[in-house]
Amino acid sequence: MSANSGGSTILRGEVIGLWGGCVAQVRRELKIARRRGGDLVNPLMFLALVVMLFPLGISPEPALLASVAPGLLWVAALLAMLLSLDGLFRGDYEDGSLEQMLLSPLPLPVLCLAKVFVHWLLTGLPLALCAPLLGVLLALPGAGYLALLLSLALGTATLSLIGAIGAALTVGLPRGGVLLSLLVLPLYIPVLIFGAGAVKAAIEGGMAGPALALLGALLALAVAAAPFAIAGGLRISLNG
Amino acid sequence: MAVKVSLRANRLACERDDRWLFRSLDLRVEDGHILRIEGANGSGKTTLLKLLTGQLPPTEGRIEWHGEPLAASREAFLSQLLYVGHAPGVSAALTAQENLAWAAAMAGVRAPDLDLERALEAVGLAGFEDIPARQLSAGQQRRVALARLELIPRPLWILDEPFTAIDREGVAWLEQRLLAHGDAGGAVVMTTHHTFHANGRVDSLLLGEAA
């Protein structure tokens, strides 16, 4: 038997590691999302509607649309991400699951990272995959499609992570949605600039590489730092 | 035998919205203790549990786990704690069994399906394993939360109003379960107005008397 210093394990059940906890968290999120079906389609519908309205509102002229398409697709995708964030922690907050996460011996930032990963997988990645299809509606030049897909795939992951900080800070507030947007939007600006920049560069025959690399760097920074901010935000929200 | 639970609070005080909920509160929870925290609504029962689980810092005083400040031994403390809060922590979209499996994973315990079924059976939910929690009644949802007591072996239980919403049979079962946990060397801290049949076994702490 192991020495029992200061209350080490006396568990009869086998202990699972951090990895086991993450896997359980990811599976739970996927199951909840599957049963709530509708929430998955909402961001995609939003993106499609916005993109469809622009040719009607501005001008159906392909040359004009092509010049604004990169920025437009990126802004619409960014807003779609923002809309999906409000509910990220709300359900867990209301039913007490969040409290259980906070009192888990597993590190909270890692559990949060698992949760945000699923959010990106079910929101950001579908947006990145659908955006090129909608690019056709805006007469996006052929050179831009790959850059659009890659920049959105990288960028939406950063948006998920940054947005989750805002969602964590506002989860306890009755109408946190507006505050969430105000908190998060300024932090989204660099991602938008480099994301739309990558697509524009690809269209104009330049290199999308540098802008994509910067998006990657932003993502690396967000993965390293955001989980701790999210965990801190949740602790403040639950006990403030 | 090594001591499993040693939770002490010294001269604890908590202020909320410019009002002292309690001051110079001393408290000791050790193996075999069953402590009931009573008090009027708004007297700070849940707040006290939040202090004891390290979710809130006390305004004054200190809380020690095995002689060390709670904040410093947080991980060791949490790996010995089972907490069932005011909200049951049961997600409406998941089935009873999925909820319990997740709760076990969050506690860092591996839970094979057989154990999950056994725990649900113990709380009278046999046959409800695959029903989404949204279709269960409030009492049944609470039972799903209480199934953690059967599944996750932890010496210290901190329970916020565990007797709410469950029926008479459930109350009798829970009472037995709490006493059995105490007899097996575990410790229980709970807020409740419930009167135990074996009331001599239970220590009481009344909040809201102190100025």
Q: CATH code at B43?
A: 3.40.50.300
Pair B31, B133 in one domain: no
pLDDT category of residue A197 using cuts at 50, 70 and 90: very high
Q: Mind listing the pLDDT tens digit for each residue in B62-121?
A: 899 988 888 888 888 998 999 998 888 899 899 999 999 999 999 888 888 888 999 999
Pair B116, B168 in one domain: no
Interface test with B, best of A2, A103, A122 (most B CBs within 10 A): A103
Pair B169, B120 in one domain: no
Pair B118, B107 in one domain: yes
B94 and A20: CB-CB below 8 Å? no
CA A84 to chain centre: 9
**A63-73 mean pLDDT:** 90
Pair B190, B98 in one domain: no
Question: Does B86 reside within a domain?
Answer: no
Domain end marker among B128, B153, B178: B153
- Residue A171 at interface with chain B, using a CB cutoff of 8 Å: no
Question: Does B6 reside within a domain?
Answer: no
Question: Does B167 reside within a domain?
Answer: yes
- A195: DSSP letter: H
Domain end marker among B153, B170, B201: B153
Domain end marker among B118, B138, B153: B153
Nearest CA in chain B to A18: B108
Question: Does B9 reside within a domain?
Answer: no
Residue A140: pLDDT above 60?
Answer: yes
What mean pLDDT, rounded, does chain A reach?
88
Question: Does B114 reside within a domain?
Answer: yes
pLDDT of residue B67: 87
pLDDT of residue A10: 40
Pair B140, B100 in one domain: yes
A10 and B80: CB-CB below 8 Å? yes
Pair B142, B38 in one domain: no
Pair B74, B112 in one domain: no
- A122: DSSP letter: I
Pair B190, B148 in one domain: no
Pair B40, B141 in one domain: no
Domain count across chain B: 2
- Alpha-carbon distance values, B207 to B58, B64, B96, B160 (Å): 16, 20, 35, 15
Pair B113, B209 in one domain: no
Question: Does B181 reside within a domain?
Answer: yes
CB contacts, 8 Å: A232 with chain B: none
Q: Which residue has the higher pLDDT, A158 or B38?
A: A158
Q: Mind listing the pLDDT tens digit for each residue in B155-201?
A: 999 999 989 888 888 899 999 999 999 999 899 999 988 888 877 78
Q: Contacts from A56-62 at CB under 8 Å and sequence distance 24+? A: A62/A139
pLDDT category of residue A46 using cuts at 50, 70 and 90: very high
Interface test with B, best of A99, A110, A235, A238 (most B CBs within 10 A): A99
- Provide the domain limits for residue B148: 92-153
Pair B30, B76 in one domain: yes
Question: Does B33 reside within a domain?
Answer: yes
